Structure 1
Amino acid sequence: MLMEDANAQVQLLMQYLSRSLTPWTLDSEVGDLSGDLLTPEPALSYLRYNAPLEREPLAELGFDLSSSRVQALRNMTAHNNSAQLLAIGLAAAQESVSIEHFPSCFDIS
């Protein structure tokens, strides 16, 4: 519960300081802050990508896993999960990450 609260606070602050191209709805009261900005101009550039370790989102990515397997994947200290977590991350990146999300200042010449 403490980690989820900390995550929500970070999401709120980062989205409130930026104009994220990947805004998350924080809750029904705050929304995704896409129409709000704490400063006159964005103070930073912020993107957030996530692959929820839940059966339905994983199935949408092509991973038909049992509830017990999904639960086991949440144990980030289990080294035997690393290959499957990498595969999930790569599949999620294919769905979510776009070159248009990154301004030219990130280009490497």
Structure 2
Amino acid sequence: KYNDLDSMGADSNLHLPLWQLLRASTAAPIYFPPEEIEVAGEKFIFLDGAITPYNNPAFQAYLMSTLKEYNLNWTKGEENLLVVSVGTGLSTLIQPFLKLSNMGFVHQATKTVSHILNAVGYQQDLLCRVVGKCLVGYELDGEVGDLIDNEAKEKKAFTYLRYNAQLDKKGLQLLGLGHLNPKDLQKLDAVDKVHLLKEVGEAVARDEVDIRHFEGF
């Protein structure tokens, strides 16, 4: 309802400057300062959405586009709605040589948030693949697989495309990039490694992007 200027007046989201929303969406803690935005005469501080359950906002985008309360009212259906989710790369959080004696306060304080966000991202992706018709996406885990089932008889709420890269040794080898060092690809601020990340993006595009998935939308 907040996208209705007539009914919400000063509280409408349409008053928010787009450039500030984009700036706020990149305000990763430590790396960039928060963005202060004025809403209906009050000032609010915004941080990067990656620290929320919507680090992968694909399922929330589906809800916002179809629930009447959000006032968009797009038509559901795998032939009507296409959700494209593009990740920033994944790396395993498994630490095979970790000992119980090393899991003190500092270790848990620095690692717990990463594990929570990883689990939440997994859940959002899983929901999209169950509610939607998934045409492309890496394997979620050994139990559910990738949930790509082009033979499913029941109609789904939307068509779903998930693009991401596994930035560990195994994932890079599957992309034909075994010569790359995973540590060079996993830092948020490694701008000197952009050329290597470009290699990963090109490999994912080559192996996973199929223009036929976009036909009809």
- Residues 1:6 and 2:120 aligned together: yes
How do 1:68-79 and structure 2 match up within 5 A? 69-79=181-191
Larger Rg: 2
Q: TM-score, normalised by structure 2?
A: 0.40
- The alpha-carbon distance between structure 1 residues 21 and 78, as it changes in their structure 2 partners (threshold 3 A), is same
CA distance in 1, matches of 2:143, 2:173: 30
CA distance in 2, matches of 1:34, 1:60: 18
Tell me which stretches of 4 or more aligned residues in structure 1 moved more than 6 Å. none
- After TM superposition, the structure 1 stretch with the greater mean CA deviation from structure 2, 51-60 or 89-98, is 51-60
CA deviations 1:24-54 (Å, max 9, x no partner) are: 543455454456xxxx632222101222111
Percent of pairs with identical residues: 32
Unaligned runs of 5+ in 2: 1-114
- Residues 1:57 and 2:205 aligned together: no
Partner of 2:99: none
CA distance in 2, matches of 1:23, 1:84: 22
- The alpha-carbon distance between structure 1 residues 76 and 65, as it changes in their structure 2 partners (threshold 3 A), is farther
CA distance in 2, matches of 1:27, 1:61: 18
More helix by share: 1
Query: How many pairs align?
Result: 99
Shift of 1:96: 1.1
- Residues 1:22 and 2:139 aligned together: no
Candidates 148, 162, 167, aligned match of 1:48 = 162
CA distance in 1, matches of 2:161, 2:145: 17
Shift of 1:71: 1.5
The 8 Å contact of residues 55 and 65 in structure 1, kept in 2 or not, is answered as no
Name the SS of the counterpart of 1:20 in structure 2: strand
Shift of 1:20: 0.9
Name the SS of the counterpart of 1:48 in structure 2: strand
Name the SS of the counterpart of 1:94 in structure 2: helix
Shift of 1:63: 2.3
CA distance in 1, matches of 2:214, 2:198: 22
